[in-house]
Amino acid sequence: AALQCPKDSGRAVLGVGNLCAVALALALAPFPVLSNARLFLENLIKYGILVDPIQVVSLFLKDPYSWPSLCLVILSNVFVLAALHIEKHLAAGSLSEHSGSVLHSLNLLTVLCFPALVVLTVSSATPVGALFALLTYTIVFLKLFSFRDVNRWCRERRAKDESARLGELGTSPAPAKHNAASGQKTANGDVAEKSVSYPANLNYKDLYYFLLAPTLCYELNFPRSPRIRKRFLLRRLVEMLFFTQLIVGLIQQWMVPTIQNSMKPFRDMDYSRIIERLLKLAVPNHFIWLIFFYWLFHSSMNAVAEVLRFGDREFYRDWWNSESVTYFWQNWNIPVHKWCLRHFYVPMIRSGCRRWMARTAVFLLSAFFHEYLVSVPLRMFRLWAFMGMMAQLPLAWFVGKFLQGNYGNAAVWISLIIGQPIAVLMSVGSMPDPCFIQRWLSIPGGLLGVPGSLCYAGVSCGAKKQHRILTSG
């Protein structure tokens, strides 16, 4: 991972310097965001301490006796086992390629549709719990898609080798081993230590190792580290715990009041106040996004990889040095980038599609999953996430054509700092139910000028503290 490599340290932090310049420009702009420290202190003075770790539980569970999201996650094993047994029948020859392809397609389609239908119909599913379940199913979908493709490639290679052997007279070569990593680099970037041949890979242990591994690209043989480094693992676990609490605290203390105070300007269409709230939200949103990136791609993925002795640790590259939008999307999330390249972009190019068409298709796929993970948990279909992703195409063209070097890098940072809060405010502002955000964030009714009886029958004992969110505006 880029943060673990000391070489070329000057180049490695160039993008961070540009981030500081952009953040300083925002801090000195003639708006309420004068400085990050001032903003945080102002928040504490206005609202007091709003951090409540216990409140987080209510984001996952509405009814302590109903756990729909957890049940959904457990049920995902049904689709995993279905994919494994389809592959076993295909390897044994008891199922035709066409029938297997149809069954795989139906299984993958159900992986996406089934949890969405459950979330939309079961009222006890909370947005955060539903997001966790849908994210799990999305990962399962991508992994099973890769699992299907790689095993199909192995069967095609086996059929080709058998045809070659039949065409040779007077020779009896040993059966070829059909694996994805015999003496060469795998799609995950390293050389496997030992070889597993097809179809010996079709077993529960192999498949569930892949499902737990921090990669989306299936291999018959994954690179493995020699041992578990206990100190390294302990550091990653401590980071995970610390940054989880920090993210939750920043959201409760910094993000929620700003979002709450943005409701009235949206209802009144007060554009100057909307812009002011947008800039006020940009700084905490970006801090949380950066912390979340480190928590996910550096701490969490490295912890999982260490436990599984998974050898490929390239989860991200130096995206902070991006001088183009394209470079950013190719380097900030390496597991997804490798999957898109291997199972979507390259097959389209080989089928005769032009590169711009394949790139557009990749962004369309990404936009679909962004919308899927936002609209379904919120039960609100406004296509803001979809349009935000598709807007990356003209932005990438503009930055690539007119901005170079540091200017391009600054443009990427600005798009990240400003673009995300725009999507957040547009999504929240277009919610048809004015009480929804209150129920979601466990905030008592009546704080936004909405009668409390519309949201809850009563007001909790924390209402006086939360009332400062409105009165401090």
Task: Mark which of 185, 212, 239 sits at the end of a domain.
Answer: 212
Eight-class DSSP state of 51:
-
Q: Is the pLDDT of residue 163 over 80?
A: no
Alpha helix (H) residue ranges in 168-203: none
Higher-scoring residue by pLDDT: 14, 445: 14
Q: In which domain, by residue range, is 336 found?
A: 14-48+229-309+315-471
* 3-state secondary structure (DSSP) of residue 66: strand
Q: Are 376 and 113 in contact (CB under 8 A)?
A: no
Query: Quick check: is 170 in a domain?
Result: no
User: Which residues lie below 8 Å from residue 368, measured CB to CB, with a gap of 6+?
Assistant: 386
Query: Quick check: is 57 in a domain?
Result: no
CA 399 → CA 88, 320, 404, distances in Å?
48, 15, 7
* 3-state secondary structure (DSSP) of residue 308: helix
Query: Quick check: is 360 in a domain?
Result: yes
**Residue 198 host element (H or E):** none
Higher-scoring residue by pLDDT: 57, 232: 232
Residue 167's pLDDT band (cuts 50, 70, 90) = low
74 and 201 housed in the same domain? yes
Query: Quick check: is 30 in a domain?
Result: yes
Q: Is the pLDDT of residue 438 over 60?
A: no
How many helices (H) and strands (E) would you count in the chain?
23, 0
User: Which residues lie below 8 Å from residue 177, measured CB to CB, with a gap of 6+?
Assistant: 195, 197, 198
Q: Mean per-residue pLDDT for 153-179?
A: 67
Instruction: Return the pLDDT at 67.
Output: 83
131 and 234 housed in the same domain? no
Q: What is the pLDDT of residues 197-245, one digit of tens each?
A: 888 999 999 999 999 999 999 999 999 999 999 999 999 999 999 998 8
133 and 243 housed in the same domain? no
240 and 202 housed in the same domain? no
Residue 435's pLDDT band (cuts 50, 70, 90) = low
Q: How far is CA 261 from the centre of its chain?
A: 28
Q: Which of 80-94, 146-160, 380-394 has the lowest mean pLDDT?
A: 380-394
Where would I find the beta strands (DSSP E) of 96-239?
A: none
CA 293 → CA 136, 159, 243, distances in Å?
18, 43, 10
pTM: 0.80
Winning range, highest mean pLDDT, from 109-118, 195-204, 274-283, 422-431: 109-118
Q: Is the pLDDT of residue 364 over 50?
A: yes
- Residue 370 bears catalytic tag: yes
Query: Quick check: is 3 in a domain?
Result: no
26 and 87 housed in the same domain? no
Instruction: Return the pLDDT at 11.
Output: 59
Q: What is the pLDDT of residues 398-429, one digit of tens each?
A: 998 888 888 999 999 999 998 888 888 877 76
Task: Mark which of 212, 238, 268 sits at the end of a domain.
Answer: 212
Instruction: Return the pLDDT at 279.
Output: 85
322 and 362 housed in the same domain? yes
Q: How far is CA 24 from the centre of its chain?
A: 28
Query: Quick check: is 160 in a domain?
Result: yes
Query: Quick check: is 219 in a domain?
Result: no
- Taking the C-alpha atoms of residue 342 and residue 417, their distance in angstroms, rounded to an integer, is 30
Query: Quick check: is 75 in a domain?
Result: yes
Instruction: Return the pLDDT at 426.
Output: 79
Domains in the chain: how many in total?
A: 2
Q: What is the DSSP string of 404-461?
A: -HHHHHHHHHHHHHHHHHHHHHHHHHT-S-TTHHHHHTT--TTTTSS-HHHH-SS--T
Q: Is the pLDDT of residue 168 over 70?
A: no
275 and 191 housed in the same domain? no
Choose the catalytic residue: 286, 298, 370, 467.
Answer: 370
159 and 252 housed in the same domain? no
Q: Is 446 left (phi over 0), alpha (psi -120 to 50) or beta?
A: left
Q: Are 217 and 146 in contact (CB under 8 A)?
A: yes
286 and 429 housed in the same domain? yes
Q: What is the pLDDT of residues 117-160, one digit of tens each?
A: 999 998 888 888 899 999 999 999 999 999 999 999 999 998 88
Single out the residue of 186, 208, 204 nearest to residue 195, CA to CA. 186
